[in-house]
């Protein structure tokens, strides 16, 4: 979480700091309207910065994954930037529109305008002529962007509708680029804040156009074929094996991919539950019925069906040098550990067993003897110590229980995949007990 928090604050404070190098939030002749003028500029700069960074992250840039600890963290940063843009945008909108209303209500008296300045520079003159149009278009673009951001935060809206509508934020953003370019104080264009704005608006415009053309992730897509579908009814879980073409670059256990089986539904992210073998080129996904789309997976998928797979993404890849690892898989969060155990089992069979001691805690509400037998066999083959906790029978996993079960937990790294509330509880308890925060690895598997 630390890299994306730093990135968020840097993304918001850098433009604010550069703007303050050229301007002041406290005008010399203090009045509400003088303060409003500088506050509108300040909030506008922060708003367009947050939106520009968010739309760049929406492209899933591969080069940023390592720096931000995976695409799941990048999407969390994308979400925070969107919320920041919404909050700052509301303030910016109220300063612009609310002031007009307060004048109309008689709460404020607008100062008399002085003579219009004589503008000689042709570019400045053209920008000045565009102000009214830029203000009107910017207002409506903000309404559209705000509505789409709020809709993205409402989990009750089906994923397919979220995916289809969210892309139109790019249209609103392009209008806001025009709004910002016209209304930024002309003298700021020659200052560091202006240079930053040029870079952000150009990169953001290219990113928005790329998104509207449907090119996000296009170079990382392949079309695979379903080879096997198995349904574990007590768990409401479907295991699907795909064969992928030579264009698939391979993956590391713990990574995930976007899978499209219904074009009208769009792509859904699923963790890959298998190790990579270039000879067989098979990839397994294990999905739980958590919504309308995943509830019909076992009846809709069949052998021979073509499925689009985009990826791989993510940095939840177990690559550390801790002498011990502790894995915690809550419910369907067991999937990345299945793939890693397959990889470890192959290494052991080839005489390259890992020296790491590994304990896997699988806490689940539902029980399926057939699925648990497969999990136990995977753990035995990989040399992993398995601890299964069925909620109604064994109670819930706590940090105290984990530490008592694994005496060497202080030297371990913890890898967690599961519900957010579960992770929050376990993480804070372990950190309070003395586990360094950087040794707790978590997949933030929420794409909205």
What percent of the chain stands above pLDDT 90?
70
Architecture of domain 324-442: 3-Layer(aba) Sandwich (3.40)
Task: Read off the pLDDT of residues 343-371 as tens digits, 9 standing for 90 and up.
Answer: 999 999 999 888 899 999 999 988 889 99
For domain 2-212, give the fold. 1.20.120
What percent of the chain stands above pLDDT 70?
98
Which pLDDT belongs to residue 162?
85
Which pLDDT belongs to residue 265?
79
Is the pLDDT assigned to residue 197 strictly greater than 80? yes
The mean pLDDT value for 34-48 works out to 94
Residue intervals in the chain for CATH 1.20.120: 2-212
Which pLDDT belongs to residue 234?
84
Opening angle at CA 447, ends 443 and 448, nearest 5:
130
Q: What is the pTM of this model?
A: 0.90
Task: Read off the pLDDT of residues 78-88 as tens digits, 9 standing for 90 and up.
Answer: 999 999 999 99
pLDDT band at 336 (very low <50, low <70, confident <90, very high): very high
Please report the DSSP string for 163-212 in residue order.
HHHHTTHHHHHHHHHHHHHHHS-GGGGGSHHHHHHHHHHHHHHHHHHHHH
Which pLDDT belongs to residue 447?
64
Is the pLDDT assigned to residue 49 strictly greater than 70? yes
- 98 to each of 22, 102, 137, 241, how far by Cα in Å? 26, 6, 17, 57
Which pLDDT belongs to residue 368?
86
pLDDT higher at 289 or 242: 242
> Strand 357-364 to strand 221-232: parallel, antiparallel, or no bridges (unpaired)?
unpaired
Is the pLDDT assigned to residue 1 strictly greater than 70? no
Residue intervals in the chain for CATH 2.40.30.10: 218-313
Lowest mean pLDDT among 169-178, 290-299, 381-390, 402-411: 290-299
The mean pLDDT value for 44-63 works out to 96
Residue range 218-313, CATH number: 2.40.30.10
Residue intervals in the chain for CATH 3.40.50.80: 324-442
Tokens of 106: 């008689």
Task: Read off the pLDDT of residues 17-28 as tens digits, 9 standing for 90 and up.
Answer: 999 998 887 766
Which pLDDT belongs to residue 158?
81
Is the pLDDT assigned to residue 170 strictly greater than 80? yes
The chain-wide mean pLDDT, for the chain, equals 92
d(CA 58, CA 86): 17
pLDDT band at 114 (very low <50, low <70, confident <90, very high): low
Please report the DSSP string for 227-294 in residue order.
EEEEEEGGGTEEEEEEE--TT-----TT-EEEEESSTTT--EEEEB-S---TTT-EEEEEEE--SHHH
d(CA 84, CA 64): 21
pLDDT higher at 69 or 117: 69
Lowest mean pLDDT among 107-116, 131-140, 170-179, 296-305: 107-116
């Amino acid at each position: 979480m630390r890299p994306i928090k730093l990135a968020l604050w840097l993304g918001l404070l850098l433009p604010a700091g550069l703007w303050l190098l050229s301007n002041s939030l406290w005008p010399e002749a203090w009045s509400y309207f003088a303060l409003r003028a500088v506050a509108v500029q300040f909030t506008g700069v922060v708003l367009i910065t947050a939106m520009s960074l968010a739309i760049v992250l929406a492209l899933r840039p591969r080069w940023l994954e390592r720096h931000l600890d995976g695409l799941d963290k990048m999407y969390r940063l994308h979400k925070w930037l969107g919320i920041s843009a919404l909050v700052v945008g509301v303030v910016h909108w109220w300063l612009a529109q609310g002031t007009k209303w307060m004048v109309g209500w008689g709460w404020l008296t607008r100062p008399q305008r002085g003579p219009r300045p004589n503008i000689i520079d042709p570019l400045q003159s053209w920008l000045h002529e565009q102000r009214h149009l830029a203000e009107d278009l910017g207002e409506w673009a903000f309404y559209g962007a705000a509505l789409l951001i709020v809709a993205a935060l409402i989990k009750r809206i089906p994923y397919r509708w979220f995916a289809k509508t969210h892309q139109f934020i790019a249209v609103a953003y392009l209008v806001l680029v025009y709004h910002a370019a016209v209304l930024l104080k002309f003298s700021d264009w020659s200052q560091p804040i202006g240079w930053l704005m040029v870079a952000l608006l150009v990169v953001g415009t290219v990113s928005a156009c790329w998104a509207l053309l449907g090119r996000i992730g296009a170079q990382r897509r392949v079309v695979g074929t379903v080879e096997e579908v198995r349904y574990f009814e007590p768990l409401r879980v479907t295991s699907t094996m795909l064969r992928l073409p030579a264009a698939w670059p391979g993956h590391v256990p713990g990574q995930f991919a976007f899978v499209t089986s219904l074009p009208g539904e769009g792509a859904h992210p699923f963790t890959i539950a298998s190790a990579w073998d270039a000879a067989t080129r098979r990839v397994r996904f294990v999905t739980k019925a958590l919504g309308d789309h995943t509830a019909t997976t076992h009846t809709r998928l069949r052998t021979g069906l073509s499925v689009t797979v985009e990826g791989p993404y993510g940095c939840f890849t177990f690559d550390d040098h801790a002498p011990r690892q502790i894995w915690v898989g809550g419910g369907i969060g067991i999937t990345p550990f299945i793939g890693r155990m397959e990889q470890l089992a192959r290494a052991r069979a080839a005489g390259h067993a890992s020296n790491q001691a590994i304990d896997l805690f699988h806490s689940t509400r539902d029980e399926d003897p057939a699925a648990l037998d497969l999990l136990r066999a995977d753990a035995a083959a990989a040399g992993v110590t398995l601890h299964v906790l069925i909620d109604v029978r064994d109670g819930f996993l706590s940090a105290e229980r984990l530490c008592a079960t694994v005496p060497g937990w202080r030297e371990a790294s913890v890898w967690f995949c599961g519900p957010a509330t579960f992770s929050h509880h376990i993480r804070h308890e372990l950190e309070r007990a003395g586990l360094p925060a950087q040794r707790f690895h978590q997949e933030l598997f929420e794409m909205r």
